[in-house]
Amino acid sequence: MTSTLVLVVVICVVALAFDFTNGFHDAANAIATSVATRALSTRQALTLAAVMDFAGAMLGTGVAETIGKEIVDISPPGGGDGVSMIGLVVILAALIGAIVWNLITWWFGLPSSSSHALIGAMAGAGVVGIGVSAVYWNAIVDKVVIPMVVSPLVGFGLAYITMKAFLLFLTKATYKSTMRGFRRAGIVAAALMALGHGLQDAQKTMGIVFMALVAGNLVDPNAGIPVWVKIAAALAIASGTFSGGQRIMKTLGNKIIDMDPARGFVAQLVSASVLYATAFLFTAPISTTHVVTTSIMGVGATKRKSAVRWGITRTILSAWIFTLPAAALVGGIFCFILTFVFRV
């Protein structure tokens, strides 16, 4: 087995490990509101989320192709086809950087973005390993930075309006029976949310593995994502989802607002809608964490301004702001180290 093939295999393993950490880091996104409103037990919710994550991962490849082709140019020096060792080193450094940032924010219970951690680490590693010109800055602005700002605002606004409409429509409804209905509907919303999470986040790992295969000259750059890559990424994120999410679940489910079944249902329904729209219409790799969190804020704000615990919200926003640059720094540092290790 050549050194290039060994490195490609290592990257694939690390990429799937990242996918696993993404799953347990983001499990709370899909199920926190269902558990907080007692629509499902934690184990039931995790099982449902894992199954739907797997199904969502198999629905498309638009986001995967954005990650694989529109963030960093990993072509061999001088262009053309062939093995790009520096490209493989950049990909490996980016994965390590993203995993490190994921673990840091998971430990502190902060719902930061695994997607932005990966993209930031890729940009930082690309600058250090190849150069500033290797990073597609326009694509990052158009498909990462702008959606990073717009999608949470849409989530907040749409959740606020939708919740207000439900409150107006159900003014004369009986409280207990209405909440019972929303609790049941919340199970469907949780499934839709998990499906959207798999559609968005598992595809990011598919894109990374595809990049490694291209850099190792093992697949045609113009070919589609191999089926085995889709299945492997889907299994990894589903396994991660089933394994974790307890720390961040407490933040999303209890610390931002006091969640009731109606607000939990609306927050998840709106979040899922935003994820589907961005994946299918814009192929933009947005953050499920950002959308879920702001949707929860939106439904909470329909009670009163003080219903949202803005102190924890400010902490979350700080983690969002620093994720891209912090992950870029970590990815750049690991790329600097790995260029000496692999002598490229």
**Range of the structural domain that residue 142 is part of:** 3-341
| CB of 267 closer than 8 Å to CB of 279 | no
Closest CA to 32 of 265, 340, 301: 265
Phi, psi of 134 (to 5 degrees): -75, -20
Who wins on pLDDT, 70 or 253? 70
Q: Sign of the CA dihedral 49, 55, 58, 63?
A: negative
Instruction: State both tokens at 232.
Output: 């492997």
Summarised one tens digit per residue, pLDDT across range 157-172 is 999 999 999 999 988 8
Q: What is residue 318's predicted lDDT score, i.e. its pLDDT? A: 72
Per the prediction, the chain carries an average pLDDT of 83
What is the pTM assigned to this prediction? 0.83
| CB of 31 closer than 8 Å to CB of 48 | yes
Place of tokens 């589609």: 224
Q: What is residue 208's predicted lDDT score, i.e. its pLDDT? A: 93
Closest CA to 83 of 18, 9, 3: 3
Domain count, the chain: 1
The one-letter amino acid at 253: G
The region, left, alpha or beta by phi > 0 then psi within -120 to 50, assigned to residue 136 is beta
Q: What is residue 313's predicted lDDT score, i.e. its pLDDT? A: 65
Q: For the residues of 150-177, what is the DSSP string, one character each? A: HHHHHHHHHHHHHHHHHHHHTTTS-HHH
pLDDT band at 279 (very low <50, low <70, confident <90, very high): confident
254 class by beta-carbon count within 10 Å (0-12 exposed, 13-18 middle, 19+ buried)? middle
Residue 72, classed as helix, strand or coil, is strand
Summarised one tens digit per residue, pLDDT across range 76-98 is 876 666 778 999 999 999 999 98
Q: What is residue 184's predicted lDDT score, i.e. its pLDDT? A: 86
Least confident range from 129-143, 159-173, 184-198: namely 184-198
Distance CA 93, CA 100 (A): 11
